[in-house]
Structure 1
Amino acid sequence: MRKSVTAVRTRRLKPGRCLLTLFMVLAVLLTGQAVAESGGSGSTASVDDAGSKDAEYWLSRLGPALNMTSYRGVFVYARGDQVSSMQIAHRYQDGIVEERLVPQDGASGEIVRKGMRVVCVLPDHGRIQLDQVIPSGPFAEAFSSQLMPVSRWYQPELAGDDRIAGYDVVRLALKAKDDLRYSHQLWLEKSTGLLVKSHVRSAEGSVLEHFQFTSLEITDSLADSEFVIRTEGEEIARELEAKESSSPMPRMDGWTLEWRPDGFIPAAAPRSGKGQAVAFSDGLAAFSVFVEPAREIVMPTGASRIGATTVYMKQLEVDDVDFFVTVVGEIPPRTARKVADSVKVDDTLAFGVIRQ
């Protein structure tokens, strides 16, 4: 029986990390739907003009709209037979992005962001910063600040108009040009370019993951109180820092990734970390690579997938030290396996390993 992604990952975490991983998986819900650009124009286009724009135009608006549009609402996210809902408030003010996400079912807690500072609040285990995962989607500024050439890896086409959560939208189809990534369909609100619905699709066209706002209000009238942490708990301070590289074989702290699909570049790394968790993005999809010394507990290996999200785990021995490699993201299982197999640990001391 196939284990879910969340179940496999939870087995390798301390109790305080279990819900954090759930939030990470939920944060990935928009990973494949956001062109990761922290800059760009925040101007709006009229609904009347929207029909004359081509697919490339809407792609150029996607990233800026994600960060620079202020809104509140509730969205649902479906992977396989699992459905989750989140409440979100998002504000762009004085060049700073603020955001608060609260799960509406399942695990309790919240995620609060101000600029590059992101806090995951777990009521039973205190507040844990996202220092071992690189979220995306709502946290797109953690990715590269440059607009990546998405059309090099996907074929963009306009697929018609629609109406979502009371707003007129345009539908954009992005077909993957190779079998190393999934295809996407995006629904963008016409006046702002804000993503309001998305599908991640297999090569056969089946929907693997589905995101959609069920209620939405695009507004600049968001009070400071909507971004206040309301869950009590101990806070561990961390900051995220953008990390960019165009090198085909980037050097991390203690390890090297010798292969990755064309178009995926290192996107971000935790400022406080040792480079043992790094995210990669092609502008639509993203995956993270985790490298850490193996624990005494027996760990599962191999691939697990739920919806479009794959987790691939493998064990690696270097200089009589066991390491565990995990790849997680919206990529096909065979792609995740090739990424994991390309990880080379070349400096065990960088992990703080003490040999007996």
Structure 2
Amino acid sequence: MERVLSTGLRLPALPRVRVAPARATLARVSRFSGALVCAAALSAGTARAQSQKPPAPPQSAASGESAGDLRGWLVRIHDAAARSSYVGTMVNSTGTSVVSTRVGHYCEGKNTLERIDALDGEPRSMLRVNDEVRTLWPRYRVAVIEPVDPRASFPSLVSGSEKHIPDFYELHVQPMERIAGHDADRLLLKARDDSRFDHVIWADHATGLLLRVDVQVAGRTLESSGFSDVNIGVKPDAAAVYAELHRADGYHVVKPAILHTKLADEGWVMQSAMLPPGFQALDCVRRALDMPGETGVQAKVLQAIWSDGITHVSLFIEPFQPQRHRSEGLTVIGATHTLTRRVNDMWLTAVGDVPPAALDQFVRALERKQ
């Protein structure tokens, strides 16, 4: 079996290893995938100095808060993720599996450094220096270099602007709880339609740092991600990142070629009126896949990403190959749904933390240009 990287790249030389998805902070290990370009920051977050005290939690009623209240909470959470230095253990539970990672995230001047070590499964480390992420596989002495993902990952939560999020999620502030040793504000972001799931989030009361996120439907938790322990406000430890990078000297380096493009430029049309409401195009890239067992043979794949500000959908488009694309259907892991479908001579894969009907809308909305 070929290795499937977070970018979709397959490395046949390293069998029986499936690379865990690589978001910037790898909190939801089984859900978050890819790494394409640097994340877009909220203007309110980038304008704050690191030395500035964290803003106080928004003051609002117990339920049915205003759009402004929700935006205030989201900005606070995003700012905390951008400026905080912390070390902790993150746990992702899908109901069928539990995966833990050790995370060190450091803000040192204008630099962002991060080290993430998998505590379960195949040994691997992810090292981030600003806009670049390097995933190290010590058993195989392979280093995979990718840009930072445009999709905000735990504990940042928001991708791009928070402006329209209240149109699709209703905020309910619930009683405070204690999470990972910290007093936490508990918020329910209730979906306003059937195209997305509810999110229950816990944010550190003192700093706003996101501590836990549960993805729910009708009160049932599909997936839970968060800290089991975390120390907020630690002294930045750049040596922890750079020392591991130096230990990887001599590794075989894999750097997938990625070209930013548009669906229209690649011969596709997305009928926006058919998409679930609120999802906006975030990025589109074209890359080559090394075909397993076929030296020198490559296939091109497109990946287009949409976001409603909280959750994301990726649509992968590639030529149909019967030896690889054997069955259509739906796969569910926690909150992540994956829909595969053959359309003429192409193979489409839609992936997202959304209900299956929403994925079906993305697949049906895609058309070839005439």
User: Normalization by structure 2: what TM-score?
Assistant: 0.75
Corresponding position: 1:177 with 2:192: yes
Give, in whole Å, the separation in 2 of the partners of 1:90 and 1:234: 26
Equivalent pair of 1:116/1:239 in contact (CA under 8 Å): no
Equivalent pair of 2:94/2:222 in contact (CA under 8 Å): yes
Equivalent pair of 1:27/1:135 in contact (CA under 8 Å): no
Corresponding position: 1:234 with 2:257: no
1:110-147 Cα offsets, whole Å, 9 max, x none, are: 22222221222233271223479865405969x85433
* Residue among 174, 178, 192 paired with 2:207: 192
Are the structure 2 counterparts of residues 238 and 12 from structure 1 closer, same or farther at C-alpha, using a change threshold of 3 Å?
closer
What RMSD over aligned residues (CA atoms) do the two structures have, in Å?
Answer: 3.8
Equivalent pair of 1:67/1:138 in contact (CA under 8 Å): no
Higher RCO structure, 1 or 2 (CA under 8 Å, sep 6+) = 1
* Residue among 94, 97, 101 paired with 1:86: 101
Give, in whole Å, the separation in 2 of the partners of 1:341 and 1:138: 30
* Residue among 128, 134, 143 paired with 1:127: 143
Secondary structure of the corresponding residue to residue 310 of structure 2? coil
Are the structure 2 counterparts of residues 334 and 288 from structure 1 closer, same or farther at C-alpha, using a change threshold of 3 Å?
same
Secondary structure of the corresponding residue to residue 208 of structure 2? coil
Counterpart in 2 of 1:314? 341
Q: Is 225-234 or 115-124 further displaced after alignment?
A: 225-234
Give, in whole Å, the separation in 1 of the partners of 2:214 and 2:279: 20
**Structural mapping, 1:64-213, within 5 Å:** 64-123=79-138, 124=140, 126-130=142-146, 136-138=152-154, 145-202=160-217, 204-213=218-227
Amino acid of the structure 2 residue aligned with 1:22: A
Are the structure 2 counterparts of residues 338 and 52 from structure 1 closer, same or farther at C-alpha, using a change threshold of 3 Å?
closer
How far is the alpha carbon of 1:194 from its aligned partner? 0.9
Give, in whole Å, the separation in 2 of the partners of 1:333 and 1:314: 13
Give, in whole Å, the separation in 2 of the partners of 1:96 and 1:242: 25
Counterpart in 1 of 2:28? 29
Are the structure 2 counterparts of residues 294 and 251 from structure 1 closer, same or farther at C-alpha, using a change threshold of 3 Å?
same
Corresponding position: 1:268 with 2:266: no
Q: Is 336-345 or 22-31 further displaced after alignment?
A: 22-31
1:82-103 Cα offsets, whole Å, 9 max, x none, are: 1100111112233332222111
Q: Which runs of 5+ in 1 are unaligned?
A: 1-5, 348-356
Q: Is 123-132 or 149-158 further displaced after alignment?
A: 123-132
Amino acid of the structure 2 residue aligned with 1:104: L
Counterpart in 2 of 1:303? 330
Secondary structure of the corresponding residue to residue 278 of structure 1? strand
How far is the alpha carbon of 1:72 from its aligned partner? 1.0
How far is the alpha carbon of 1:220 from its aligned partner? 4.3
Amino acid of the structure 2 residue aligned with 1:234: H
Are the structure 2 counterparts of residues 187 and 153 from structure 1 closer, same or farther at C-alpha, using a change threshold of 3 Å?
same
Give, in whole Å, the separation in 2 of the partners of 1:90 and 1:17: 31
Counterpart in 2 of 1:354? none
Give, in whole Å, the separation in 1 of the partners of 2:156 and 2:188: 21
Equivalent pair of 2:124/2:136 in contact (CA under 8 Å): yes
Counterpart in 1 of 2:318? 292
Give, in whole Å, the separation in 2 of the partners of 1:270 and 1:12: 13
Equivalent pair of 2:28/2:154 in contact (CA under 8 Å): no
Counterpart in 1 of 2:309? 283
* Residue among 310, 314, 324 paired with 2:347: 324
Q: Is 172-181 or 51-60 further displaced after alignment?
A: 51-60
Give, in whole Å, the separation in 1 of the partners of 2:126 and 2:197: 27
Give, in whole Å, the separation in 1 of the partners of 2:109 and 2:259: 20
Secondary structure of the corresponding residue to residue 63 of structure 1? helix
* Residue among 225, 230, 233 paired with 1:219: 233
Equivalent pair of 1:131/1:238 in contact (CA under 8 Å): no
How far is the alpha carbon of 1:178 from its aligned partner? 0.4
Secondary structure of the corresponding residue to residue 235 of structure 1? strand
1:245-303 Cα offsets, whole Å, 9 max, x none, are: 9xxxx636343332432211122345977881122111111121111122341422111
The structure with the largest helix share of the pair is 1
Corresponding position: 1:338 with 2:361: yes
Equivalent pair of 2:281/2:305 in contact (CA under 8 Å): yes
Equivalent pair of 1:269/1:275 in contact (CA under 8 Å): no
Q: Which runs of 5+ in 2 are unaligned?
A: 33-38, 61-68, 289-299
Are the structure 2 counterparts of residues 134 and 165 from structure 1 closer, same or farther at C-alpha, using a change threshold of 3 Å?
same
Secondary structure of the corresponding residue to residue 336 of structure 1? helix
